[in-house]
Structure formats: C-alpha cells, structure tokens
Structure 1
C-alpha cells in the first residue's frame, strides 16, 4: 500500500541554489480503489523544503529557501503518504539532503592588523612573523594562498625586502 519504505534516499544540492530548486521526485501508489486509493502526501522536517504535486501521485521536493552549507550541511526530511480510506493507512519515507559547498566565503585574517618590530640589518631570509587566515569553505574552496600586494619602498619592490610563504603565511 502506498510508497515502498525501502532505504533512506540521499539527494545533493548546492548551497546558494535558488528557491524552487529540484531536490527529489517522489512517486506513491496505492492499488486500492475509491477513497482507499486516493493519496495525500505531507512533508515533515523543515520549512526550507516544500512538496509540490506534479501529476497523478508524483510529487517534487523543492527548496523553499536559499541554503548555506556553512550554517547547516545536511537536512533530514520525512514524507508521510496517507490514503483517504477508513481507517486511513499511511507510510513514511525518509530523505537526507546534503548541501554541497561553493566558494562563497572570503578568507579572514585572525587579526585585523599585524604589527611587529624587527631589528636593523637582519640577515636575508630571517623569520619575522606569521600571518594566519581561515576560510570556512570546504576543500579547494577553503584553501588560502598568501601574497604580498605590490608596493614600493624607496623605489624598490617590497618583495626585495620581505617575502611570504604562499601556502602558510
């Protein structure tokens, strides 16, 4: 009767996708006739998603909000399908929606300003300090690369005087 419970379904969407982004198609069936075969589906879980009937007993799960993976990376949804018979029979299907990352966050330095004193006539290559920045995005989207903006001191490029390790600051 109704949906086959089966295993939990997993869908993947990207953070930042617009409202009404397709998440999954749900098909339900009931071989009974009359009111016993008429089905109503409801979505329980979060206001971030909605259920839209398409044709016959097929429903779309769509986003109802723009989602941010850094706030929440996974949602658990439950669909309840119920016939109109007396007594009414129902079944439940569970969905997991995983939110994929996009590069939507800039890196942030741990401090807003770095100040330090160095002694005069340092040896070339002497360690001065380390700057640190982090990016909440995942994988390559969250990798930080360090560079020194081009500027000049007494007509010479600043990189004549200081360098930075591009991978660790």
Structure 2
C-alpha cells in the first residue's frame, strides 16, 4: 500500500486526499480547532473546489471550506484565517470522494478506451485545486503483489455516471 507524501513536481506541492482526511482544521487567529476534514468537493470539470469539514461535539454538521480560504495545508492540520470561512452545507456538492455523488470506486478509463482500474485517491495541487493524478486499484491482491498505480493527467477528467475518462500522459 503506497501513500506518496507531498510529491514535489514542477507544479509545486501535490498531496493525496488520503493524507488530508481526518486532519484538524485550525483558525490561525485563535489557534482553535474548528473541525476536521472529511471529504473533497470536486466540480464536474475535475477541479477541487473545497473541503467538507465536520464541526461540532455531539451533533456534527458538515460545512464547506472553499480551497481559496485555506491559508496552508500542514502535516498536522489545515489552517484557515477565521471560522467564518466555513459555510453551512446547504446543497450537495457536485462530486465528493466518499460521500454523496462519490467518485471513490468509480472506473477510470483512458481517453483511448482502456480500463485503468478503480479510483481510490487523487493527487491535487494544493494552491490551485487541480487534480493531476489518480491512485487506482485493481483489487486487494493486485495491490499487495503489484502495488497501487498512479495515473498522471494534466487535463481535466470527464466525469460521468458510470466512469471517469482521463487523458493519460504516463502509466
């Protein structure tokens, strides 16, 4: 099981969502923990628009945090300027990795029609929110014997009901 940590490339710092999930969100002005990251909000054109953050002690509610409102993605938490950056989630996001309209487990197909595997995680550029890589699985035993594959693509995917179509640069 490979989880690449912060891949440095010509685009800057990339991160997998797997490293962000469960991380606390802190307000930089007060140092208060506001909530924790539970999912990514992804647009139809494959751009990470923001994070889903759970907030509350007994009755946790989901909030949307625009990626532009994130001051920094640290190893131990996500920093935002103020609590007001979180918006109560009124409508369901277009896509998420794990919640409503989930992309996790969806078939990834190359633009030439080749089945690449099932989506398990995404690599995204923190500052821009662009997805530049996809971690895929061919199943448990394949992951153990061959490891997980990372598919790179600089172009936005076509997200459909049954599959995600990507323009493949390297496999």
User: Is the TM-score greater than 0.5?
Assistant: no
Indicate the structure with greater strand content.
2
Q: TM-score, normalised by structure 1?
A: 0.22
Q: TM-score, normalised by structure 2?
A: 0.22
